[in-house]
């Protein structure tokens, strides 16, 4: 863990929100009506992070995230950081070849993907020798085509305490892909310092979000550059 600098590392930012606003709603999934409080979000993040570490994820590993907007997205995103790993956020509108390129460029060793992408993942799985662990979120319609761990089962029995991982502000946190307007999309690496300061300043200065307000996010959660 680390609390250096003004905001600390990304898991510290969520920890403070959980401490201050524990029983307030953190996420509301408009499609399903499901929601989680900040306290529940923090505990869920920790269980996922512990599950990732238990599955072999080490500090600095790059983890692909191939997910649509859903309730699990943000807890998984936060858990990757709490495990000390680097999040590779994959644009979901790409085709299988695009997913393969994302994972190859970043040397990703783990992929968390939603069951709706089962066919695409099955297509590229054999072409990614560095990809060691696959974790499926949700249920596949019909027979599974990929040998993957089940997310819910993996997380269920884990501790809700944040794992003890030494993370510093200068550590890599996030790989975001450019739009590819001048060629193949390229991964841009952000540190914990960069992303925590950007996220907070963007919320306050650009979106002008204030305490007690509800922010509706209608775009894909993967759509950041």
- DSSP assignment, residue 104? H
- Domain-located, residue 42: yes
- Domain-located, residue 212: no
Domain that includes residue 26, residue range: 10-206
- Domain-located, residue 223: no
Segment-wise mean pLDDT, segments of 10 residues, the chain, 225 residues = 66 95 95 95 99 98 97 97 97 93 97 98 98 97 93 97 97 87 81 85 67 77 65
Whichever domain contains 132, its CATH number is: 3.40.50.12780
Cα separation, 127 vs 102, whole angstroms: 13
The predicted structure's pLDDT at residue 206: 59
The predicted structure's pLDDT at residue 143: 85
Structure tokens of 120? 């695409």
Query: In this structure, are residues 9 and 196 in contact, taking their beta carbons and an 8 Å threshold?
Result: yes
- Domain-located, residue 14: yes
- Domain-located, residue 154: yes
Listed in sequence order, the DSSP H helices in 56-184 are: 73-82, 96-106, 118-124, 151-156
- Domain-located, residue 128: yes
Phi then psi dihedrals of residue 28, to 5 deg? -125, 120
Structure tokens of 40? 């529940």
Structure tokens of 126? 């054999």
Burial 150-164 (b: 16+ CB within 10 A, else e): ebeebbeebeeebbe
The predicted structure's pLDDT at residue 225: 42
Query: Could you tell me the pTM of the whole model?
Result: 0.91
The predicted structure's pLDDT at residue 183: 73
Listed in sequence order, the DSSP H helices in 38-117 are: 38-54, 73-82, 96-106
Q: Using alpha carbons, select from 106, 142, 151 the residue that is nearest to residue 122.
A: 142
- Domain-located, residue 221: no
- Domain-located, residue 28: yes
Q: Report the number of distinct structural domains present in the chain.
A: 1
- DSSP assignment, residue 160? S
The predicted structure's pLDDT at residue 199: 73
């Amino acid at each position: 863990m680390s609390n250096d600098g003004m905001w600390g590392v990304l898991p510290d930012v969520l920890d403070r929100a959980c401490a201050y606003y524990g029983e307030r709603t953190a996420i509301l999934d408009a499609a399903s009506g499901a929601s989680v409080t900040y306290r529940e979000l923090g505990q869920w993040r920790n269980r996922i992070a512990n599950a990732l570490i238990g599955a072999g994820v080490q500090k600095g590993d790059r983890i692909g995230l191939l997910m649509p907007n859903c309730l699990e997205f943000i807890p998984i995103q936060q858990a990757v950081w709490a495990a000390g790993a680097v999040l590779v956020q994959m644009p979901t509108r790409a085709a299988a070849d695009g997913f393969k390129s994302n994972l190859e460029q970043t040397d990703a060793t783990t992929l968390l993907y939603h069951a709706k992408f089962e066919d695409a993942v099955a297509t590229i799985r054999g072409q990614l020798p560095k990809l060691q662990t696959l974790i499926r979120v949700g249920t596949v319609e019909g027979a599974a085509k990929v040998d993957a761990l089940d997310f819910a089962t993996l997380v269920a029995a884990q501790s809700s305490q944040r794992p003890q991982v030494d993370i510093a502000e200068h550590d890599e946190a996030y790989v975001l892909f450019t739009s590819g307007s001048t060629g193949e999309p390229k991964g841009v690496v952000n540190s914990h310092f960069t992303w925590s300061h950007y996220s907070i300043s963007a919320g306050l200065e650009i979106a002008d979000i204030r305490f007690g307000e509800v922010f509706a996010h209608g775009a894909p959660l993967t759509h950041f550059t």
